[in-house]
Amino acid sequence: MNGGGEGASASAAAPLEWKFSQVFGERTAGEEVQEVDIISAIEFDRAGDHLATGDRGGRVVLFERTDTKDHVGDRRDLERMDYSMSRHPEFRYKTEFQSHEPEFDYLKSLEIEEKINKIRWCQTANGALFLLSTNDKTIKYWKIQEKKVKKVCEMNVDPAKAMGNGPVVGCVSTSSKPYLANGGCKERSISYPTNDTSFPPEGYPSLKLPTVVTHETSLVARCRRVYAHAHDYHINSISNNSDGETFISADDLRINLWNLEISNQSFNILDVKPANMEDLTEVITSAEFHPSHCNMLAYSSSKGSIRLIDMRQSALCDTHSKLFEEQEAPGSKSFFTEIIASISDIKFAKDGRHILSRDYMTLKLWDINMDSGPVATFQVHEYLRPRLCDLYENDSIFDKFECCLSGDGLRVATGSYSNLFRVFGRSEGSTESTTLEASKNPMRRQVQNPSRSRSLGTLPRVLRRGADTSGADANGNAFDFTTKLLHLAWHPTENSLACAASNSLYMYYA
């Protein structure tokens, strides 16, 4: 394994000691989890003050950070406050809303799930929060804002004389002279309602104007835009551009460029669909904009390659500016080679120079200035290699694990089975390789391998008390493929992780 990049030049940081912070939606023993409650997307906002999760039921749940607010009385003070002053990140439930509903495409006789595939935060404005959420077909742009509910109080109008919400109703007498059959007429008095609001000469003893008071404040989520009918295949990625005006959406064969303000038009900037679908050899699996260069983006494929494209080259970016892929070792090809090489997620580092990719077996770190191969490889599932046939039979081999980097770029993280997640140090000389379980006691057993564990491919032994070790590997790792930690996010400014295990959201800090 090679080191590279800015982080590699720094001295190896000491391994972090991870601690449990809090949990939302923890299951009780024996509780059956509903399918719609399983978390399917997770994302911190740029400042780390808010966290959003999406689930298979189409709901988006928002959490806000509260630990820094205990020491400050004004929002401006909070913005100036250094997070290192706080004890550790604490979040609280803020609100939730139904983002997507199940649909049915009658033209294709196809059910469209409400499951949230991705969430991306947009720039905040005037105290309102903005985010994009997508299911398989439709992207929505949401605005979440506090609304003050006002009520009218202290009305001193006599309700008996009031008509609806209008003014007091009075009466007026008029003289009517109906004609008789013989041509004569007779007078009679008829009273008609009137809206006469004139003051009596003596005045009212105590007339008050209605008073409007703020009753309460509530959070309202409003859908500002709906971006639909632009993808024939399932959307797997959305990514905001650094210009704050545009974003991309990607499905298996196409990447579209949108303007946030225009929902009825998008530009197809990449199309890998062959003229004959029988010639199709790879599909797009993930796509992301460069964090600071608005003209650059990267996308990964099912063949294990990452392509960097520059939108300035042409309107249709069918030619890449750089290709990143690792060559296979001679004689190592098998039936499962292409399946496990498929990249399920890519993330740009904050510095914009590195790309982290996750395939089924490994994490790889790439330097965009060096396309000869990854600068670091972290073995995640090497211990599962003898079980690839079983994984194929139960479809676990197609699980799509996400990955993330710390804000300083010194560490990377990803999930695994048995609700485990793994953290690796990526600076030169680092041997940090930590395995934790998504639970209130994450450090069941932590092994720091003094040798380069990233290249050896041995998963540190994690045994739970009373766990059934039947079907375990040589290191004692039980094969529990029913519980898996697919989604996790790293706080943008400090060492804090949010992990989604089934319907539960676990938070950790170091």
The answer on 451 and 391 residing in a single domain is yes
pLDDT 10s digit of each residue in the chain, 510 long?
444 444 444 456 688 899 999 999 987 777 788 999 999 999 999 999 999 999 999 999 999 999 875 444 444 444 434 444 446 789 999 999 999 999 988 888 889 999 999 999 999 888 899 999 999 999 999 999 988 877 777 666 555 554 444 444 444 444 444 544 444 545 544 555 555 556 566 666 666 677 777 777 888 999 999 999 999 999 999 999 999 999 999 999 999 999 999 999 999 999 999 999 999 999 999 999 999 999 999 999 999 999 999 999 988 988 899 999 988 777 677 889 999 999 999 999 999 999 999 999 999 999 999 988 999 999 999 999 999 999 999 999 999 999 999 999 999 999 999 999 999 998 887 888 999 998 887 765 444 443 333 332 333 333 232 333 334 544 455 668 889 999 999 999 999 999 999 999 999 999
d(CA 495, CA 204): 68
pLDDT at 193: 53
pLDDT tens sequence across 458-496:
333 332 323 333 345 444 556 688 899 999 999 999 999
Residue-level pLDDT at 194 = 56
Decide the pairing of beta strands 59-65 and 91-98: antiparallel
Are 179 and 134 members of one domain? no
291 is written with which tokens? Answer: 């964090």
- 360 phi, psi to nearest 5 deg: -65, -35
Give me the CATH number covering residue 256.
2.130.10.10
What are the backbone angles phi and psi of residue 382, rounded to the nearest 5°? -60, -30
CA distance 431 to 454: 8
pLDDT reported for residue 205: 63
Whether the CB-CB separation of 343 and 300 falls below 8 Å is answered with: yes
Which residue has 């997770």 as its token pair?
A: 42
367 and 493, same domain (yes or no): yes
Please give the C-alpha separations between residue 208 and each of 155, 157, 163, in angstroms, as whole numbers.
Answer: 7, 9, 18
Distance CA 509, CA 213 (A): 43
Tokens encoding 81: 């406050």
| 319 shares its domain with 374 | yes
Final residue of a structural domain among 173, 190, 209: 209
d(CA 201, CA 53): 65
Instruction: Name every residue whose Cβ is closer than 8 Å to that of residue 19 and which is 6 or more positions away in sequence.
Output: 88, 442, 443, 508, 509, 510
Number of compact structural domains in the chain:
2
Task: Say what the pLDDT of residue 473 is.
Answer: 45
> What confidence score (pLDDT) does residue 83 get?
41
Q: 303 and 159, same structural domain?
A: no
Tell me which DSSP letter residue 472 carries.
B
- Domain range for residue 168? 155-209
**253 and 195, same domain (yes or no):** no
Contacts of 229 by beta carbon, 8 Å cutoff, 6+ apart: none
CB 252 within 8 A of CB 289: no
Of 462, 332, 325, residue with least CA distance to 385: 332
DSSP state of 11: P
- Closest by CA to 230, choosing from 210, 205, 262, 255, is 255
213-247 burial by CB neighbour count: b if 16+ within 10 A, else e? eeeeeeeebeeebebeebbeeebbbbbbbeeeebb
**Beta carbons within 10 angstroms of residue 14's beta carbon:** 9
- Residue where a domain stops, chosen among 171, 189, 209: 209
pLDDT of residue 466: 32
Domain match, 175 and 288 both: no
Taking the C-alpha atoms of residue 360 and residue 328, their distance in angstroms, rounded to an integer, is: 15
- Counting every residue, how long is the chain? 510
Q: What's residue 498's pLDDT?
A: 96
Helices (H), 213-299: none
Q: State the pLDDT at residue 109.
A: 85
Between the alpha carbon of residue 485 and those of residues 120, 319, 469, the distances in Å are 20, 35, 20
Residue 59, strand partner residues: 98
Query: 469 and 427: one domain?
Result: yes
Same domain for 179 and 57: no
339 and 488 in a single domain? The answer is yes
